[in-house]
Structure 1
Amino acid sequence: MNSIWDSTVTVPTYPALHQNITVDAAVIGGGIAGLLIAYQLEKRGIHAVVLERDRIWGGQTHDTTAKITAQHGICYHPLIQNYGEEKAAQYAAANQAAIHEFRTLIQKGNIPCEWEEVPSYLYTTMDEALLEKEALAAARVGLDSRFTTDTSLPFPIKAALCFPGQAQFNPLLFLQALLPSLTIYEKTPVLSIEKQAVSVPGATVQARHIILACHYPFPRWPGFYFLRMHQERSYVLALREADQVDGMYYGIDSDGLSFRNSGSLLLLGGAGHRTGKRLDQNPYQQLWRQAQLLYPNCEQAARWSAQDCMPLDGIPYIGTFSPTRPNWYVATGFHKWGMTTSMAAAMILTGMILGEPPAYSGVFSPRRFSLKASKQNLKEDIRVSVKSLSRQFFTGPKKSVDDLLPGQAGIVRLGGRKVAAYRDESDRLYHISAKCPHLGCQLEWNPAERSWDCPCHGSRFDYTGKLLDSPAKSNVGGQS
């Protein structure tokens, strides 16, 4: 289940770090955010190294649908309501600046990365009231948009809001062109950070500036980011023999789909859910049924999924990690818009480190808090965490491991213990601890990807217990 981007590049291999070094900046995380931050720092004369736990762009960067846009769903109307027009305008300016920076780098470097400038659409099949409010808000913050009912979608809509001048690309081809100017260490997991020292296995990196760009910040405190975000999964099918669309489309309804072209393929996205939610149906099968209804002659070329950090108020956290750690910086909570936001983060953090923060950086400050903007998500996060912890510590499994049939998984009893068990199609049994090593929540089975997912903070593990997604830092023990 690899994305279509994986087949377009050969990922270079970089060494692990085995000796102590001193640098200007240590960037933790080798996804697009970390690589862009290191690239922007190097451009400005600040020597940076990238420390990657596994392989570069091995996480969300190669699982994206790669839209570069200042249109992030219904965002500007709530931004104005919760933070005022000035902050909403900063958000728009940051994303417009990011689009411009991508365009500039690609054109100046003559980077062949399938860059296409296309319009981006929000659409609804139900009620245009939200789109009308978003159009007014977008105009107030200086974004060009227009209403239409004329789209290339394969079904009728109530209304669409079109934002011209947005873009799409192949992220791995783009990043490949930046790699020669970067110093990267792979297979170099960060064990701890103390003041200006980053500890990795067998070595220490001394750095004046430390940037956490590792998708989900692993230090629990200071910062307390595990209380300020949850994670969500989304799914994509790449379809052959499906009609092309004239831009990027994002449905704002609860069951809305996303569409974009990639060469002759159509990328169909949707079926998202909170990580660790118990699923009633397989999201890939759900998407495929819709694909067959919309494009009866289509075929699957590829399918994959992504995971996104969702901040309480919908705005990414970009800036100083915590008031007590002034030389630490963070870029996280990209809210499903990681391509544009990664570039915005690189520009903001580079400016902050140089003492020249962009005027639009204020809206992303990790120090902000608005109860009005965060109340609904905060209540849901607390509810999910309490439920999961209660199940882990106070609820016993109803089934024994012997009840599992081939292809089934569940939280079961094994030798008087509670375990997360999976029996594969050949009847081999795998069992691990049912407890997430991050903060102890009970894991849930994701049948679509045969993974154990944490509903509290989104850590994920394969059925053998191997760590797939942070914030957990270790595998789950007890495999068999």
Structure 2
Amino acid sequence: MNTQSSGKLPEAPEPYWCKDMDIPNFSVLVEDHETDVVIVGGGITGITTAYLLAKEGVKVTLLEADRLLNGTTGHTTAKLTAQHDLIYDEYMNHFGRTKARLYYEANKDAIQFVKDIINEQKIDCDFSEQDAYLYATTDQYAENIEKEWKAYQQLHIQGELVKEIPFAINVKNALIMKGQAQFHPLKYLSHFVRQLANDNNVRIFEGTTAEDILNLGNKLQVVSRDGKKVTANKVLCCSHFPFYEGTGLYFSRMYADRSYVLAVKAKKDFPGGMYLSVDQPSRSLRSTPWNGENLVLVGGESHKTGQGKNTLEHYQALETFADEVLGIEKILYRWSAQDLITIDKLPYIGAITEDQPNILTATGYRKWGMTNSTVAALMLRDLVLDKNNPYHELYSPSRFYADPSLKHFFKENLDVAKHFIKGKLEFPNTEINDLKNDEGAVIRMNGQRKGVYKDKEGQLHIVDTTCPHLGCEVNWNQGDRTWDCPCHGSRFAYTGEVIEGPSEKPLQKEDYGVLDVLLKDSGY
């Protein structure tokens, strides 16, 4: 059965960034209209792009399926850094020195853009410059850090190789990238939202799910789930997973990865800096101002969505680590995040396919969305305005590098096939009467595979476990009380509604008549 919380963990997942934020509300799209550009997705990419285009006098309509900033952007650790794990040695080997340097420059430019606009507009968002650290606790990864340091030197990245970090952690090697930063992402972005809300060139709609794009020849038309249409010259897919793939087959070129965060009031003082272990399981540390003190964000425990152990155990592992390193006075928040990783580890930013140049996408940030999203916004602005951008070729979604793309394409899609078959052949041994309140599981009811969650009041919520995207079987995520697909990363609420794509349709819920028969046959 499901692992129970230690008692220190907050009962429900809630990101610290979303607490007490005053972000304007926007209505649902209820009538058709025409604009210059439609942006789908109200996270950091969509909002920053809308802001940049509005400044250029472009008429923009932004559609968000839920609430602005309620998705991946609100669940980040909010590090503004070009130190994206051990990546530069790998990029040099696969793409060459020039492209590896371009990736660094793109993200360095993004940090500078954020810093400049915060200073110019005096945005109060807890921005501070910090050094970023990668550290290794094993000999194997210490060697990898040595290789990364050599890559820094060849790429002229300002850094330093050191043998320790200011924590009681036995470190074999550590690599510093100087002059990075951190901030409060929702305080930063809410400033833009308020400006957009007062801009006559901008219309924002929440609770509006975009489902399709129609090609009208010289125009495009975004169609919402309710059948409302927005006609435009260009459409920008900024919705984490592209809501529209065209013939790009993005679901086969990316995989979804989850990680976890605790916001801890620590007994020990935090020394400053941002830290990430390169060993597995990963560990991330940074602090943020909170009530005149430091709140420490402890993250890590990444794994493919819908795969692996009971997800509550990931939070517990971070709790153990935080207590050993910092001492826990109280855990105030916990949350998890999901991001998409492309087969060559470079984001896709640009035309969604070569034959659809007016439909642009930005996705696959590999957990480094605070800078890559800003890179994307600047690139999307330039693409809309037909301006040259030095990073266009690097991030182009139509690129293909045989090494590593071909190897990773087959590897990831074999993994999908494995989990597809496993889900179909799996015979659950949990029965509905085994469930305690606030527990969920896959069970067999009357010969059918069903997902059951018993809420805190003992009410049952039963869904069909077949993901509507491509038919894989979802698994229960106890840590977040969701149903997660192990094949392509779709996530659903315990009631079946879509939380994360690529699925656009909810899990099928049992109607009362069928449910009554199933429960009786199960002896409930």
Out of 186, 199, 219, the residue aligned to residue 206 of structure 2 is: 186
- 1:223 aligns with 248
Q: Give the SS at the match of 1:325.
A: coil
One-letter code of the match for 1:209? K
CA deviation vs aligned residue, 1:252-307 (integer Å, no higher than 9, x gap): 11123110010111111111211001315621111111222223343212111111
- The alpha-carbon deviation at position 179 of structure 1 amounts to 1.3
CA distance in 1, matches of 2:237, 2:370: 17
Aligned to 1:322, the other structure's residue is in SS state coil
Task: Give, as a single letter, the amino acid of the residue that structure 2 aligns with 1:275.
Answer: T
Return the letter of the residue paired with 2:106.
A
Structure 1 contact 349–357 (Cα < 8 Å) conserved? no
Shift of 1:178: 0.8
Secondary structure class of the residue paired with 1:302: strand
**Equivalent in 152, 171, 176 of residue 162 of structure 1:** 176
Report if aligned partners of 2:24, 2:193 keep a CA contact under 8 Å in 1.
Answer: no
SS at match of 1:282: helix
Query: Which AA in structure 2 matches 1:440?
Result: G
Partner Cα distance (1:258, 1:313) in 2 = 23
In 2, are the aligned partners of 1:245 and 1:259 still within 8 Å (CA)? no
Shift of 1:412: 1.8
Aligned AA for 2:377? A
Counterpart code for 2:302 = G
Q: 1:428 to 1:8 in 2, by over 3 A?
A: closer
Matched, 1:414 2:426: no
> How many residues of Structure 1 are paired with residues of Structure 2 in the alignment?
480
Given the superposition, is the C-alpha separation of residues 153 and 256 from structure 1 closer, same or farther in structure 2, using an over 3 Å criterion?
A: farther
* Counterpart selection for 1:139 from 153, 163, 180: 153
1:231 alignment partner AA: A
TM, length-normalised to structure 1: 0.96
Contact 1:18 1:203 survives alignment (8 Å): yes
Shift, 1:131, TM fit: 1.2
Q: Out of 18-27 and 277-286, give the one that drifted further.
A: 277-286
* 1:461 to partner: Cα distance: 1.1
2:111 maps to: 99
Determine the C-alpha separation between the residues in 2 that align with 1:181 and 1:139: 42
**Alignment-derived partner of residue 413 in structure 2:** 382
Distance 2:411 2:260 in 1: 22
**1:136 shift after superposition:** 1.8
Give 2:57's aligned residue.
Answer: 45
Q: In the alignment, is the contact (CA less than 8 A) between 1:222 and 1:324 conserved in 2?
A: no
Alignment partner, residue 275 of structure 2: 249
TM-superposed CA distance for 1:375, in Å, is 4.7
Matched, 1:176 2:190: yes
Q: 2:76 aligns with which of 60, 64, 67?
A: 64
Q: Write out the 4+ residue segments of structure 1 that deviate beyond 6 Å after TM superposition.
A: none
Give ranges in structure 2 of 5+ residues lacking alignment: 1-12, 197-202, 516-524
Q: Distance in 2 between matches of 1:423 and 1:14?
A: 33
Shift of 1:18: 1.5
Partner of 1:432: 463
Match of 1:28 among 26, 40, 44: 40
SS in 2 for 1:315: coil
Q: Which residue of 2 aligns with 1:116?
A: 128
Instruction: Indicate if the aligned counterparts of 1:210 and 1:327 stay in contact, CA closer than 8 A.
Output: yes
Paired residue type of 1:211: L
Q: 1 CA distance for matches of 2:57 and 2:378?
A: 14
Which is further off, 313-322 or 176-185? Answer: 176-185
* 1:411 to partner: Cα distance: 2.3
Partner of 1:313: 344
Structure 1 stretch 84-93 or stretch 296-305: which is displaced more? 296-305
Do 1:245 and 1:260's aligned partners in 2 also have CA atoms closer than 8 Å?
no
Query: Which SS does the other structure have where 1:458 is aligned?
Result: coil
Alignment-derived partner of residue 90 in structure 2 = 78
Change (3 A) 1:380 1:398: farther
Moved more, 99-108 or 365-374: 365-374
The counterpart of 2:404, out of the listed 373, 383, 387, is 373
Question: Per-residue deviation at 1:221?
Answer: 3.2
Which residue number in structure 2 is paired with residue 213 of structure 1? 238
| Offset from partner CA, 1:412-446 (integer Å, 9 cap, x none) | 22233221122345443221011011111110111
Quote the Cα distance in structure 2 between the aligned partners of 1:180 and 1:450.
33
- Which amino acid counterpart does residue 100 of structure 1 have in structure 2? Q
Cα displacement string for residues 352-388 of structure 1 (whole angstroms, at most 9, x for unaligned residues): 2222132122211101122322355434422331122
Q: Give yes or no for contact 1:16–1:187 (8 Å, CA) kept in 2.
A: yes
